[in-house]
């Protein structure tokens, strides 16, 4: 678009409009670039793209843009329709006092997902109910395998971020921006008899652990080459 401004005031006005346009363009462009390659896993409206595993998925609901589990009997977990191998997964979660959930990765639909695949723990780390758990059972851990290197969780009821990167035999986890797990699956498989550590591909899943939990902004970026 070309603006023809003949008078000083018109030139000034056109200049301001152009600067505003460029500013907005830069912000939008940079935001899009930051999310380049990411695909939404949840549309914020319904359960399209997800399927219940081990029971009726009516215990999973969508309201106000949140994907929520009631904690009541029903599906043991919900799985993505598509399987993923190497990926960068990002999401936000909100768990109540003494709440418990988990994110399954590279999981099959048959067998215990946290064994046949892997589980990244989601927990109210400060809940009295869990004070006697082992280190590899707290938030961010590769459940029952590798504990988080630090405690980065917030108190129950607050929104928190999780990032999981699976790339070949590497599995890394961030909680609220803190890099808490640097997992070498090949090494872990030598000391832990868990078949999921050797699994190359599977479903992404959200666990019902008899506790309410809310998720939002779930998005994934399939990795086509080693992540630098």
Give the pLDDT score at 14. Answer: 45
Nearest-Å Rg of the Cα atoms of the chain is: 21
Of 37-41, 98-102, 224-228, the least confident: 224-228
- 49-95 per-position pLDDT tens digit: 999 999 999 999 999 999 999 999 999 999 999 999 999 999 999 99
**Residue with token string 């086509």:** 224
| Mean of pLDDT values over 141-169 | 98
pLDDT in tens, 109-147: 999 999 999 999 999 999 999 999 999 999 999 999 999
Pairing of strands 77-84, 170-175: unpaired
Q: Are 125 and 138 in contact (CB under 8 A)?
A: yes
Give per-residue pLDDT as tens, 172-208: 999 999 999 999 999 999 999 999 999 999 999 999 9
Domain boundaries, the chain: 1-36, 39-222
SS3 44: coil
Distance CA 18, CA 21 (A): 5
10 Å CB burial of residue 25 (0-12, 13-18, 19+) is exposed
Q: Is-contact 213 117, C-beta < 8 A?
A: no
Nearest one of 131, 126, 105, 128 to 116, comparing CA atoms: 105
Do residues 180 and 148 make contact, with C-beta atoms less than 8 angstroms apart? yes
Helix (H) or strand (E) holding 161: strand 160-167
CATH architecture of 39-222: Sandwich (2.60)
pTM: 0.84
Helices marked H in the chain: 8-34, 113-116, 185-191
With beta carbons less than 8 A apart as the criterion, state whether 80 and 113 touch: no
């Amino acid at each position: 678009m070309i603006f023809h401004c003949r008078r000083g005031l018109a030139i000034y006005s056109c200049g301001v409009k152009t600067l505003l346009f460029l500013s907005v363009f830069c912000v939008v462009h940079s935001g899009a670039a930051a999310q380049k390659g990411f695909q939404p896993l949840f549309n914020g409206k319904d359960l399209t793209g997800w399927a219940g595993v081990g029971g009726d998925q009516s215990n999973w609901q969508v309201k106000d843009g949140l994907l929520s589990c009631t904690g009541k009997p029903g599906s043991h977990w919900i799985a993505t329709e598509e399987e993923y191998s190497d990926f960068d997964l990002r999401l936000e979660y909100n768990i109540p006092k003494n709440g418990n959930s988990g994110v399954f990765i590279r999981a099959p639909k048959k067998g215990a997902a946290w064994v046949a695949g892997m589980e990244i723990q989601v927990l109210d780390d400060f809940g009295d109910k869990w004070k006697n758990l082992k280190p590899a059972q707290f938030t961010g851990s590769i459940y029952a395998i590798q504990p988080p290197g630090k405690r980065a969780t917030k108190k129950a009821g607050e929104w928190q971020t999780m990032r999981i990167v699976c790339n070949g035999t590497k599995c890394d986890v961030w909680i609220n921006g803190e890099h808490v797990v640097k997992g070498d699956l090949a090494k872990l498989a030598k000391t832990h008899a868990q078949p999921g550590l050797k699994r190359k591909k599977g479903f992404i899943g959200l666990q019902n652990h008899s506790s309410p939990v809310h998720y939002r902004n779930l998005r994934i970026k399939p990795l086509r080459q080693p992540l630098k």
